[in-house]
Every structure is written in C-alpha cells, then in structure tokens.
Copies of this chain bind each other. A is one copy, B any other.
C-alpha cells in the first residue's frame, strides 16, 4: 500500500458515498390523484431534503479528504475517532428526513432543533478526529497549514451552537445559517484555490 491510511480512506469513502446516495430511496412518486406537475411540486420538501443531505455529506467528504491528505500515519485512536465520525455521517439522513416531513406542521421547530443539534454533534466529532491526529502526532510535520485547518474546525461547533440557539427564535433563519456554515467549509482552509497547495509547493 502506498499510503498507510489508504484503506481507512477507502472504508470512509464507501460510508460517505452510501450515506449520500441512500436518501434517493426516500423520494416517492407524486400522488396519482394530482395532475403530474402539481404532484411534483407538492413533493418539494422531499427534494430539498435530498439535495441538502447530499450536499452536506459531499462537503463533509471534502473536509475529510482534505484532512486525510495531511495524515501520514494511523493508530488505534485514529481508527476509533474516525469510526465515531462515520457514525455521525450515517446518522445525518435521519434528522434530515424528519425535518422534511415536519415542514408546514407544528413540529417544524422541534424537528429543526433535532436537525441543528445533530450538526452540532457532528462538528464536535470532526474536532475529536482532528485533535486525535494532532495529539498523536499523525499529521504531516512539514505542513504549515495545520493551524488553518484547526481554526476552521474549531469555529464549527461555535457556529452550530449559535445556529441551534437561533432555532428557538427563528427556524428558517437557523436553517439558512446552517446551510451557509456548510458552504463556508467548501472553501479550503488555506484560502487558496488548490486543495493540496502546500504539499505541491514543498514537492517542487
């Protein structure tokens, strides 16, 4: 194996891609009693739920990919904390589907609390993984960008906690903030276009 972490990444990729794909099974054909396009339109919470889940899981995969491109060794603590993170990834479709069903019902706030709370838990699991890597010295020592990753990760739980607090005040705003946080993680922590820019430089 060229990389000691290769098989951990392969297992993680499998989990991420299955979790991202499963929600398409929840998309049901529109009710036969409605005209076709009206039936399609009535299903929008299901489509929105599918879209959100897919993008969130995709963005989490990108974060995971970026972090692992700097991990050089694996140990038992990494295996354990990565497993807990993957548990969180697989969990996400469930609160998303609960929220899709609660749109337009009196349960909307409760479902959004459950949903935003799940993201807070996931942000904490990402931090657990990162600090395991730093604490055990598994990260590439040459890599000067670890500080950038740490800053981006540490901000996560704080932002999702704020998002959770806003849910009691304004549910749609809290969901919009949740989406905005995810999009902010799409940007590389190095704030450069290349995702492995630093490594590229040191190799030249």
In contact, B62 and A194 (Cβ under 8 angstroms) = no
Cβ contact within 8 Å between B20 and A22: no
List chain B residues, Cβ under 8 A from A22.
21, 24-25
Tally chain A residues at the interface, Cβ within 8 Å. 69
Cα distance A111–B102 when bound, in Å?
A: 28
A195 to chain B, nearest CB (A): 6
**Assembly stoichiometry (copies):** 4
Instruction: Answer yes or no: A58 CB below 8 A from chain B CBs.
Output: yes
A170 near B: Cβ within 8 Å?
A: no
Partner of A83 from B18, B55, B195 at Cβ < 8 Å: B55
State in angstroms the CA–CA spacing of A74 and B200 once bound together: 11
Whether the Cβ atoms of A195 and B6 lie closer than 8 Å is no
In the docked arrangement, what's the CA distance between A79 and B58, Å?
Answer: 9
Bound Cα distance A3, B6 (Å)? 12
A sample of 8 inter-chain contacts (CB < 8 A) reads A1-B6, A11-B16, A14-B18, A18-B18, A24-B93, A54-B87, A76-B186, A77-B193
Chain A residues engaging chain B, CB cutoff 8 angstroms: 1-4, 6-11, 13-22, 24-25, 27, 29-30, 36-37, 40, 51, 54-55, 58-59, 61-62, 65, 68-69, 73-77, 79-80, 83, 86-87, 90-91, 93-94, 97-98, 101-102, 107, 110-111, 114, 136, 186-188, 193-196, 200
